[in-house]
Structure 1
Amino acid sequence: MSIHLGRKNACRSPVPQLRIVRRIGLPPRSWDSHSGSTCPDVFELTDGRFAVIGAEKTAEVRQARPDMRELNRHEIVVVVDRRALACAKDFITDK
């Protein structure tokens, strides 16, 4: 539910600027990426969330799984190589 107080977007909270704390896991070049520039990667953000670089595959996943929940306008499905997540998992703590 949205409450309007005369200004558009008056009820939206300010979005904090995303800042990367560190790469989670090993750099792509260390696990067989030839260029290191087009491989999946995982980063920890200052607010504890994670940023993931992967291939956008929303349409393909929707086609394979039509009962998938609705996505918000700002959401997409990203596919990440198993190796990227396996390299990252040992570096993620239960803060």
Structure 2
Amino acid sequence: MITTLYREGPRLSDPNYTRIVFLVYTRLQGDVMSRAWEADPVAQFKKRLGKSPLQLGVTDEDPTCPDVWELTNGDVAVIGRDLTDDYAARLPDGVHIGADERLVVIPGVMLRAAKADIPDE
């Protein structure tokens, strides 16, 4: 799996706010697409990484909150705003979004809060 983090400038309403864009993309080999990693659709939610959206002040108890969760297989699920169409025309060189992938944006404070729950290994 190849993951790229792209940091945007500050949000107008909060000068300390940044957004992290997660891009997960695949590698092409000749005419056949092979993947070093594939998402497991049967993995279960194991634990939230970081604090809840309400604790971080990024929601007003709306049920459509961003979130970051570890799955039972060790992968990470990110719930965020789907901005694939908004970013598609301005991706950095070498970055691609596969047909079955989405570019999801979450508040940077959520990833920073999750950092303590993410092992370095």
TM over 0.5: yes
- Structure 2 CA distance for aligned equivalents of residues 85 and 75 of structure 1: 20
Partner of 1:27: 52
- Share of identical aligned residues, percent? 34
Structure 1 partner of 2:96? 70
Q: Per residue, is there more strand in 1 or in 2? A: 2
Where 1:90 maps in the other structure, the secondary structure is: helix
Q: CA deviation at 1:69?
A: 3.1
Scaled by the length of structure 2, the TM-score of the pair is 0.59
* Larger Rg, first or second structure (1 or 2): 1
Q: Decide which of 31, 50, 58 is 2:76's aligned counterpart.
A: 50
Shift of residue 39, structure 1, vs aligned partner? 2.3
Q: Write the distance in 1 (CA, Å) between the matches of 2:41 and 2:61.
A: 32
Provide the aligned C-alpha RMSD in A: 2.3
Work out the CA distance in 2 between the residues paired with 1:49 and 1:34. 28
Unaligned runs of 5+ in 2: 1-31, 34-39
Number of positions where the alignment pairs a residue of Structure 1 with one of Structure 2: 84
> 1:85 maps to what in 2?
111
Return the structure number with greater relative CO, CA threshold 8 A, min gap 6: 2
Contact 1:29–1:36 (CA under 8 A) maintained in structure 2: no
Instruction: From the superposition, tell whether residues 83 and 36 of structure 1 become closer, same or farther in structure 2 (CA, over 3 Å).
Output: farther
Q: For residues 23-73 of structure 1, give each alpha carbon's deviation from its aligned partner in whole angstroms, at most 9, with x where no partner exists.
A: 111111111122152221000011111000000011111122274533222
Gaps of 5+ in 1: 3-14
